[in-house]
Amino acid sequence: MTQDSSAGRRILVLEDDETLRLVISRALTRAGFDVRATASPSSAIERMARRDADLLVADVLLGDENFLDRLEELQHVRPDAPVLVISAQTTAATAIQAVRGGAYEYLPKPFDLDDLVDAACRALDTGERAGQQRSGANPFPDLVGRSPAMQTAFRLLARLSTASAPVLFTGPDGSGRASAARTLHRACKPGAPLIEAGPDRLRREGVQVFAEARGGGLLLRRAERWDDGIQDLVLEQLGQMSDTRLYVTALADVRTIMAPALFERLAVGHVDMPPLRSRGDDRLRLFEHFLKKHGRTDFAIARDAAEFINAYPWPGEVAELERTAARLAVQGDRGTMGLAALQEALTAPVAPGTGAALEDAVRAFAAARLSEHSHDVANDVAAIVDKAMIETVLAHCGGVRRDAARYLGLNRNTLARRLTALGMDSGGEE
């Protein structure tokens, strides 16, 4: 939109920070818009209802109010007016709630004023609005970040929350691909089940996996490990998933090993989860977030420890960072966490129950079977892991197979067959 075409187009700015309100107003005025401003959400809604403006630019946190909670009210009184939401709340939840509440676009602070002007032009030129009701409470706590790379991911998630196309999540192991997929599913289909399956389950159960996910969501993990048979299966089933949202996770280079026709179908929506090394101060923000998540709010992070967190490469990505924070949350003393305590937690032996401990146990068992000249190591390992896993989940569920099957990501018939094969079929409660 040129300055001539923006002349006469009216924008209302809702911002309680006087300085920022002035800066935004001046930038939009220089672009040729007729700009008014207010610090009151109620006043903004009243003025939009009177059609005093064609577009609202609104901050999220305004004193004690969260403006996202009033987007539905604004949509009711002025459904034709686009809204640009700006916020320092740097989570995927904010972006998704804004777009699903009817906002045209979400801009995280700090933002470039030229980007704001461009967004205002697009909103007024197209008149497009998402127009869907927001999903309610914040169910997406673990996607946190202010880095440009994460804000790009948040904006994509927000836009994809109003669509139904398949979404491919790429990035290094541990970068949060599956968490982002679950976040998007909860936004798109709140309350609907999400079935998850890796390559092994797809090989075993085939179309049954897709049938079980019907009407909800299906998360297929590790697409870089799909053989030709799995790729053919997924491509065939894509045409029969009109009521099911598909999410796929893979390493970034999956395009080089996936059939082009399948990749193009899956990457209609493509979210690349950035590695931690590209996320700057997000590492410290995430670390603080995970400490709180695991119950520790009673100690501060010393400056040397904070600098280490932001400088350390975290080869295990977000997963490694959370494990380290969890160790400190459980074992750390109150007060200030220094560099020594952090490094001790980082290099501590992996606690039982973590993935790395399981990998070590599997390696040791496989090595022992090889020393015994076994020619069926894969099945030996699978049987012992299956038995221990199923026993643990059944005990957790009080022997109720229906509940255990849900935790295991299996249907009840498949669980029954596994129990029989492992000699565990004791006729537990259905």
How many Å is the Cα radius of gyration of the chain? Answer: 25
CB 55 within 8 A of CB 86: no
DSSP element (H, E) containing 168: strand 167-170
Show the CA angle centred on residue 343, arms to residues 338 and 349, nearest 5°: 135
Domain with CATH 1.10.10 in the chain: 363-421
Domain 277-347 has CATH 1.20.1050.10: no
Phi-psi label, residue 348: left if phi above 0, alpha if psi -120 to 50, beta otherwise: beta
Write the CB contacts of 238 (distance below 8 Å, at least 6 apart in sequence).
Answer: 166, 246, 265
Burial (0-12, 13-18, 19+ Cβ within 10 Å), 407: middle
Q: What pLDDT shows up at residue 130?
A: 34
pTM of the model: 0.54
Count the residues in the chain.
430
Alpha-carbon distance of 158 to 152, in angstroms, equals 10
**What pLDDT is attached to residue 20?**
94
Fold classification of 363-421 is Arc Repressor Mutant, subunit A (1.10.10)
Best CATH choice for the domain 3-126 from the list 3.40.50.2300, 2.102.10.10, 3.40.50.620, 3.30.70.270: 3.40.50.2300
Q: Are strands 245-250 and 61-62 parallel, antiparallel or unpaired?
A: unpaired
Instruction: Return the residue matching tokens 């492992």.
Output: 422
Model pLDDT, residue 227: 92
Q: Supply the angle between the helices 317-331 and 339-347 in degrees, to the nearest 10.
A: 120
pLDDT of residue 354: 52
Instruction: Name the residue type at position 227.
Output: D
- Give the pair of three-digit tokens for residue 306: 């904070």
Residue spans in the chain of domains classed CATH 1.10.8.60: 277-347
Q: Residue written as tokens 């309610």?
A: 136
Residues of the chain with CATH 3.40.50.300: 163-274
Residues forming beta bridges with residue 86, ordered by sequence position: 59, 107
Which fold, 163-274? Rossmann fold (3.40.50)
Strands 167-170 and 269-272 come out as: parallel
> CA-CA distance, 220 to 183, in Å (whole number)?
15
Q: What is the spatial distance between Cα 63 and Cα 15, in angstroms, rounded to a whole number? A: 10
pLDDT at 295: 78
Q: Which residues pair with 34 in a beta bridge?
A: 10
C-alpha separations of 22 from 14, 67, 341 in Å: 11, 19, 46
* CA proximity to 84, closest of 45, 115, 58: 58
Q: Extract the tokens encoding 333.
A: 């003393």
**Closest to 174 measured CA to CA, from 291, 321, 309:** 321
What pLDDT sits at residue 427?
A: 52
Region(s) of the chain under CATH 3.40.50.2300: 3-126
Q: What is the pLDDT along the chain (430 residues), one digit of tens a residue?
A: 445 455 568 999 999 999 999 999 999 999 999 999 999 999 999 999 888 899 999 998 888 888 888 888 887 778 778 899 998 876 777 777 777 667 888 888 888 898 899 888 888 875 533 333 333 334 445 578 878 888 888 888 888 888 889 999 999 888 889 889 988 898 888 888 899 999 999 999 999 999 999 999 999 999 999 999 999 999 999 988 989 999 999 987 888 889 999 999 998 899 999 998 888 888 998 998 888 888 777 778 899 999 999 888 888 888 889 888 888 887 777 778 888 888 888 865 554 555 555 665 676 667 666 656 667 778 778 877 888 888 888 878 878 888 888 888 888 888 888 888 777 765 555 5
